[in-house]
């Protein structure tokens, strides 16, 4: 409830900021840059935010960030009321508010995973989407009403009040018991998160499809104020109703999403949503009738949440526990970075070529994307077990104290597999999947060799940044799916490999 209230205030702040710039010179670019200023922090701080959310107390992160939001929001409200708010200052303060959002979002999303049972994650994601879009429906409508009656400064002050409500709620929450993670050095943890995303084919594919949707889809969000003012000749309250129609459509789509996902695959849901959003973007841009535009935007809102919530749920369900917060931070980079890029491109191109052409081209691109997705579907991953594998961990190495080895020493792992001649081809092919598993869980380099003098002996070699990280690899990073890959390799060979672990002597 506190998040919904805070999101309502956030949407009121966005609408107020956009409307404050509508009458400025180069307004098309400036209004689009409001979305960009809020999204750029995700590109800069996304990975650090994911690492912090993985290892620090998540409740304390929320408290600190909400306090920061209250201070920045108060400055925004006061400067607007006294008439000292310039476009540059507005964009700067919007950037700072966006920085607060990025720092708390991975921690909040990972916190939900600790509270909600895994079997309810899809429905909890839908519930979260409903909350987000209730705020998207209510916030703009309230902002439009408030701007036309008491002014933009009051809208910014209401945003401060909603942040205060969220802060008080988290302060009063005493029952949170943070898990005790195996703390890793900051740089190592950041690299591990990026490495996982890079070598996980499923996550990589989901992120690619999401980015291809988000960039053109944000043309409608960025240029909607000008559809309201120029095409439909509406004021701030009318613009709020257009956003409310999108938001109400999104709420309806979120309510229908659990039913949709039981009948249709992730690929069908997201492809159909992209096609519907593309068609809605074109129709809303060309419509000169307010009732027709409201209906089109409602349907477009349904399509928006079908795509966004489906991708979000898929990523949250698939990511293993050990890298969830870091993976979600990359998701936020893709989502908000795509929004920033899409909004900026839409504003710049619309300034030169016009709003109608930009939105029509964006709609066509989304229709093309939907067609490609039907022809090249997303991979299925329902049968991939991402729970943490319960296997014996490596014993801590006992070394001569005079050599002064440390946990930071680079580690080289050598596995010797004995494989019968008739299994050579299958084994080599299967080890490509093992390579991806090793790299996802920490390996920086990986090679497979055959012993020249013993052709039935294959040698797998990979190195890891530190002995500490190697311990983490075996202790918490291997999922049941990874364990199944290694077990399948052992079945193709004569059994588990002969293992050698080497630690660097460099100091």
Report percent pLDDT > 70 for the chain. Answer: 93
The rounded distance, in Å, linking the Cα atoms of 85 and 87 is 7
What does each C-alpha distance from 190 to 403, 411, 446 come to in angstroms? 30, 19, 20
Q: What pLDDT score was predicted for residue 180?
A: 65
Tokens matching residue 361: 């081209």
Report DSSP letters for 261-274, one per residue.
Answer: HHHS-HHHHHHHHH
75 contacts 89 by C-beta, under 8 angstroms = no
pLDDT, tens digit (0-9, with 9 covering 90-100), for 227-278: 888 888 887 678 778 877 887 887 788 778 777 877 888 899 999 999 999 9
Collapsed DSSP state (helix, strand, coil) of residue 502:
strand
Report DSSP letters for 422-490, one per residue.
Answer: GGHHHHHHHHHHHHHHHHHTT-SEEEEEE-SS-TTEEEEEEEES-HHHHHHIIIII-BHHHHHHHHHHH
The region, left, alpha or beta by phi > 0 then psi within -120 to 50, assigned to residue 354 is left
pLDDT confidence tier of residue 401, bands split at 50, 70 and 90: very low
Q: What pLDDT score was predicted for residue 405?
A: 60
The contacts of residue 331 (CB under 8 Å, 6+ apart) are 207, 210, 312, 315
pLDDT, tens digit (0-9, with 9 covering 90-100), for 49-92: 888 877 778 888 899 999 999 999 999 999 988 888 888 898 89
pLDDT confidence tier of residue 427, bands split at 50, 70 and 90: very high
201-226 vs 266-286: helix crossing angle, rounded to 10? 20
The contacts of residue 145 (CB under 8 Å, 6+ apart) are 237, 240
The pLDDT of residue 28 is above 80: no
pLDDT, tens digit (0-9, with 9 covering 90-100), for 292-342: 999 999 999 899 988 988 888 888 888 888 888 788 888 888 888 888 788
Q: What pLDDT score was predicted for residue 109?
A: 75
Report DSSP letters for 228-296, one per residue.
Answer: IIIIS---HHHHHHHHHHHHHHHHHHHHHHHHHHHHS-HHHHHHHHHHHHHHHHHHHHH---HHHHHHH
């Amino acid at each position: 409830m506190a998040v919904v209230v805070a999101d309502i205030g956030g949407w009121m702040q966005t609408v107020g900021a956009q409307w404050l710039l509508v009458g400025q010179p180069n307004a098309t670019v400036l209004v689009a840059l409001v979305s960009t200023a809020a999204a750029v922090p995700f590109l800069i701080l996304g990975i650090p935010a994911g690492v912090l959310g993985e290892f620090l107390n998540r409740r304390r992160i929320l408290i600190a960030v909400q306090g920061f939001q209250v201070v920045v929001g108060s400055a925004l409200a006061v400067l607007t009321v006294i008439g000292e708010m310039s476009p540059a200052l507005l964009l700067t303060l919007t950037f700072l508010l966006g920085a607060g959002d990025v720092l708390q979002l991975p921690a909040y999303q990972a916190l939900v995973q600790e509270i909600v049972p895994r079997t309810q994650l899809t429905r909890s994601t839908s519930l979260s989407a409903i909350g987000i879009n209730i705020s998207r429906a209510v916030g703009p409508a309230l902002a439009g009403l408030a701007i036309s009656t008491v002014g933009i400064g009051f809208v910014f002050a209401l945003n401060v009040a909603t942040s205060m409500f969220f802060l008080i709620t988290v302060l009063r929450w005493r029952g949170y018991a943070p898990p005790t993670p195996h703390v890793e050095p900051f740089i190592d943890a950041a690299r591990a998160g990026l490495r996982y995303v890079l070598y996980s084919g499923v996550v990589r594919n989901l992120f690619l499809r999401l980015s291809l949707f988000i960039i053109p889809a944000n043309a409608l969000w960025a240029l909607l104020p000008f559809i309201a003012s120029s095409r439909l000749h509406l004021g701030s309250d009318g613009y709020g109703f257009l956003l409310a129609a999108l938001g109400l459509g999104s709420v309806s789509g979120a309510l229908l999403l659990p039913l949709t996902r039981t009948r249709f695959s992730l690929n069908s849901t997201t492809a159909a949503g992209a096609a519907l959003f593309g068609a809605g973007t074109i129709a809303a841009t060309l419509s000169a009738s307010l009732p027709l535009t409201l209906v089109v935007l409602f349907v477009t809102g349904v399509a928006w949440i079908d795509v966004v919530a489906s991708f979000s749920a898929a990523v949250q369900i698939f990511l293993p526990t050990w890298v969830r917060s870091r993976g979600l931070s990359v998701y936020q980079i893709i989502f908000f970075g795509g929004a920033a890029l899409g909004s900026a491109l839409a504003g710049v191109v619309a300034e030169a070529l016009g709003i109608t052409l930009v939105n029509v081209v964006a709609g066509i691109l989304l229709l093309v994307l939907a067609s490609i997705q039907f022809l090249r579907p997303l991979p299925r991953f329902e049968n991939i077990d991402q729970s943490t594998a319960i296997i014996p961990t490596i014993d801590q190495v006992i070394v001569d104290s005079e050599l002064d080895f440390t946990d930071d020493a680079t580690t080289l792992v050598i596995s010797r597999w004995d494989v019968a001649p008739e299994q050579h081809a299958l084994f080599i092919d299967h080890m490509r999947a093992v390579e991806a598993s090793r790299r996802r869980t920490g390996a920086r380099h990986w090679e497979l060799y055959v012993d020249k003098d013993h052709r039935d002996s294959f040698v797998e070699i990979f190195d890891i940044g530190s002995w500490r990280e190697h311990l983490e690899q075996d202790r918490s990073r291997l999922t049941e799916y990874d364990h199944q890959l290694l077990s399948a390799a052992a079945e193709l060979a004569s059994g588990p490999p002969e293992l050698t672990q080497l630690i660097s002597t460099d100091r």
